[in-house]
Amino acid sequence: MTDLGGFSMHELFKAEVETHCAALSEGLLVLERDPADVSPIQALMRAAHSVKGAARIVGIDAAVAVAHHMEDVFVRIQKGQERTARTRIDQLLEGTDFLARIAQVPEAGIAAWSAEHAGEVNALTTALAAPVPDAPAAAPAPAPAQAPVVEPAPVIDVPARVAEPARTVDAVVQRPMPAAEPAASAAPVVETRAVRVNADNLDRMMQLAGESMVEGRRSPALRRSLAAVRSDLSAARESLEGALRRGDSARIVQARDAVARAETALSARLLELEAFFRRTEEVSTALYHEVIGSRMRPFSEGVSGFPRMVRDVARQLGKQVRFDIAGGEVPVDRDILAKLEAPLNHIIRNALDHGIEAPEERRSRGKPEQARVMLEARHHAGHLQVRVTDDGRGIDPESIRRKVVERGMQSPELAAQLGERELFDFLFLPGFSTASKVTEISGRGVGLDVVHQMVTSTGGTVRVESRPGAGTTFAMQLPVTLSVVRAALVEVAGEPFAFPLSRIDRVMRVEPGAIGSVQGRLQCDVDGHATGLIDGAALLALGKSGVEGAASVVVLGDESGRVGVVVSRFLGEQDLVVRTLDPRLGKVPHVASAAILDDGNPVLVVDVDDTLATLRKTLAEGTFRGLGQSERTASAARATKRILVAEDSITVREVERQLLVRLGYEVAVAVDGMDAWNQLRAGRFDMLVTDIDMPRMNGIELVRLVRADARFAHLPIAVVSYKDREEDRRAGLDAGANAYLTKGSFQDQSFVATITGLVGAP
């Protein structure tokens, strides 16, 4: 089996099947609970279809057959040709388990394993192809008892301890399924998931909810008392005005006394109202913090599987490793904890395989035979800091420098100028690995880029610290929770924007005399370093405000490189409850999310990573390169044909990307049709290669949308799909594609010939 560019397609297949099998299991359970609701079928069809396509790429025929028959069943159910029987659900779950098992088989043993289980495959596919059998009369009896047990199992690990329920309870919460399927829009499917919540949290939330209800019941009485005071004031005012007109001094005195009594009553009511508002705010704030607290789980809960993993991997490698966890009691947002598992798994495995030396090598270097790997978590300055440290051989910056030059990523002259931190950043690039040997544990270059992607997706940062011979530390800084962000509020061109405090270096006022210009770019001094400045209004497409007089600047980045965004003025700090943008908006440049300010107005939260990438690119092109070189670079970039590949299967997407890169094209990838459409509008491409079945926007919809835009009227489009029926081919061509290929074209020259024929040579 081919290993393209250091990537193991079998490993990609394994990861993809795990994801889709989880979706299949969850969807089938939803379907079993409500057989009449077929809205989950579309997502189930896509999962089975994706597994079939990935299995075909890596040549696992048994998985192709099972996934194909599962997909056929879903089609029949969707079309109403078959009812959703419990027996059929059992068969589909059995098929899901089979796919999950075959994905775990080592690549070298696939053929033997498939031959050994050929009878099982035949029996399973025969059962799926046969008409749905009638369920036995006794079958429904155990179902109610089984359903609640099966569903939470993948989510909650409930220790077999009597004392555990006294501290935590399993709460079932409901959240809407992603609105990606048209079938689900009319009748949204509700997915349930079980989470562990501390019982004390629930008790306090119930108490605070009761207090909130009591406080709410006080408001009608306050309204009535204020209305009575207003009535008394109105009557006193009318009496006073009448007495003044008549000149009746006695009545004037009486009216003044009435006004004074009303003012006294008003003051008392205002004090009550102020106490009411204060108490309401206290209760709501406490309730909010309890809700946030219910989302927090101890760090140890998310890393409980690592000690066993370290033991098994170390034994497999013939190494002695002591694994310690510090800060296991540190509370972490459950979503952050879930996202941490994959990055930490990559980092620890990499440390065991490449960081830790063999016992004999450690002895020769004067180290104890037993190496040490430390996983540590702590709260610091409002952030969660997670560090993985080993005392192994460390990372040699010079080996990275040589690899950068060998792969043509930088010229020898420029590579020689890179600092240690800049060199370590190359480790997080996709496909970059300094490993001299590919193993089952690591070294394929598919780990650290995933770490970087997952950490930055949460608004965090990751960096590497290493000393050759002394060890390596991976340090991650993450938000404590994803639901609340402490932000610096600024005004840009009259509009409010928020910068997460965890992602900014500082805010500062720069006097006019401290702002200089180099090659047309503004810059100022920050800690003795020249820092480029960009007009925030121009960056956020709000026009150009210019810099007149003293400038308010938000400094982004760190010691390795800072840039400044000039804003109109600072508005202060605030805790924001962030809300994701509607998926229909696509990726809004430089914007990550939105929030509501205390005054009820909306505010956009700036995407710092997106902004930093744009700023550094803009400043580098204008400041650190000469004009002639910049023009030559741009010209060279335009000379290279750019192709956008839209494919939701990571396995197929990687095959297409590698093939096109080897031909000499520059390739960008999109994970679905919506992503591809956003990239097409924002960039320059010479061709589009797209799949058909994709979430959010399928390939047919994408092609029609592209052809409806005059800018892309002549853009070459090739559809590459597993669907090889004539009606599918006609649908793609009628939508506006120039060519329709099946994914079997990867094995011959038709894919290459079609691409070069449509877009020309690289």
Helix axes 61-78, 118-129, angle to 10 degrees: 10
Q: Is the pLDDT of residue 350 over 90?
A: no
Angle CA(162)–CA(168)–CA(169) in degrees, nearest 5? 95
655 vs 744 pLDDT, higher one: 655
Q: Is the pLDDT of residue 150 over 50?
A: no
Q: For the domain 640-759, what is the CATH code?
A: 3.40.50.2300
Query: Sign of the C-alpha dihedral, residues 324, 328, 334, 335?
Result: negative
Mean pLDDT score of the chain: 77
Rounded to whole angstroms, the Cα distance separating 21 from 47 reads 8
pLDDT for 192:
40
Q: Which CATH architecture has domain 3-150?
A: Up-down Bundle (1.20)
Which range of 215-229, 291-305, 353-367 scores highest in mean pLDDT? It is: 353-367
As assigned by CATH, the class of the 303-476 domain is alpha beta
List, edge to edge, every strand of the sheet that includes 561-567.
504-510, 551-558, 561-567, 529-535, 521-526, 516-518
Mean pLDDT (whole number) for 226-255:
81
Percentage of the residues of the chain whose pLDDT score is greater than 70: 78
CA–CA distances in Å: residue 428 to residues 114, 158, 159, 448, 474? 36, 36, 37, 5, 11
Which range of 246-250, 355-359, 728-732 scores highest in mean pLDDT? It is: 355-359
Quick check: do 3-150 and 640-759 share a fold? no
677 vs 413 pLDDT, higher one: 677
Mean pLDDT (whole number) for 110-131:
92
Nearest to 541 by CA among 500, 607, 590: 590
pLDDT for 637:
44
Contacts of 575 (CB under 8 A, 6+ apart): 484, 485, 486, 487
Q: Are 492 and 536 in contact (CB under 8 A)?
A: yes
Mean pLDDT (whole number) for 172-193:
38
Tens of pLDDT, residues 723-743: 667 787 888 899 999 999 876
Q: Is the pLDDT of residue 152 over 50?
A: no
638-677: burial string, b at 16+ Cβ within 10 Å, e else: eeebbbbbbbbbbbbbbbbbbbbeeeebebebbbbbbbbb
pLDDT for 745:
63
How many of the other CB atoms lie within 10 Å of CB of 425?
A: 18
Q: Using the 8-state DSSP alphabet, how is residue 198 labeled?
A: E
Between 470-474, 478-482, 557-561, the lowest mean confidence (pLDDT) is in 557-561
Q: Are 98 and 118 in contact (CB under 8 A)?
A: no
Rounded to whole angstroms, the Cα distance separating 563 from 547 reads 16
Burial class from Cβ neighbours inside 10 Å (0-12, 13-18, 19+) for residue 361 reads middle
Tokens of 648: 């939701």
pLDDT for 295:
73
Give the pLDDT band of residue 176 (cuts 50, 70, 90). very low
Give the pLDDT band of residue 377 (cuts 50, 70, 90). very high
Quote the radius of gyration of the chain (alpha carbons, Å).
32
pLDDT for 199:
64
Tens of pLDDT, residues 75-114: 999 888 888 888 898 899 899 989 999 998 988 889 999 9
Mean pLDDT (whole number) for 390-408:
86
pLDDT for 302:
82
Tens of pLDDT, residues 3-57: 444 447 788 888 888 888 878 887 887 888 788 888 889 889 988 998 998 898 8
The ranges assigned to domains in the chain are 3-150, 164-295, 303-476, 484-623, 640-759
CA–CA distances in Å: residue 215 to residues 223, 228, 276, 277, 288? 13, 21, 7, 9, 16
Largest CA distance in the chain: 113
pLDDT for 618:
59
Q: DSSP letters of 202-221? A: HHHHHHHHHHHHHHHHHHHH
Q: How many CA atoms lie within 13 A of 652 on its CB side?
A: 31
Rounded to whole angstroms, the Cα distance separating 42 from 187 reads 13
Mean pLDDT (whole number) for 335-351:
86
pTM of the model: 0.45
Q: Is the pLDDT of residue 191 over 60?
A: no
Q: Which CATH architecture has domain 484-623?
A: Beta Barrel (2.40)
With residue 153 as reference, give the H or E element that holds it.
none
198 vs 345 pLDDT, higher one: 345
471 vs 415 pLDDT, higher one: 471
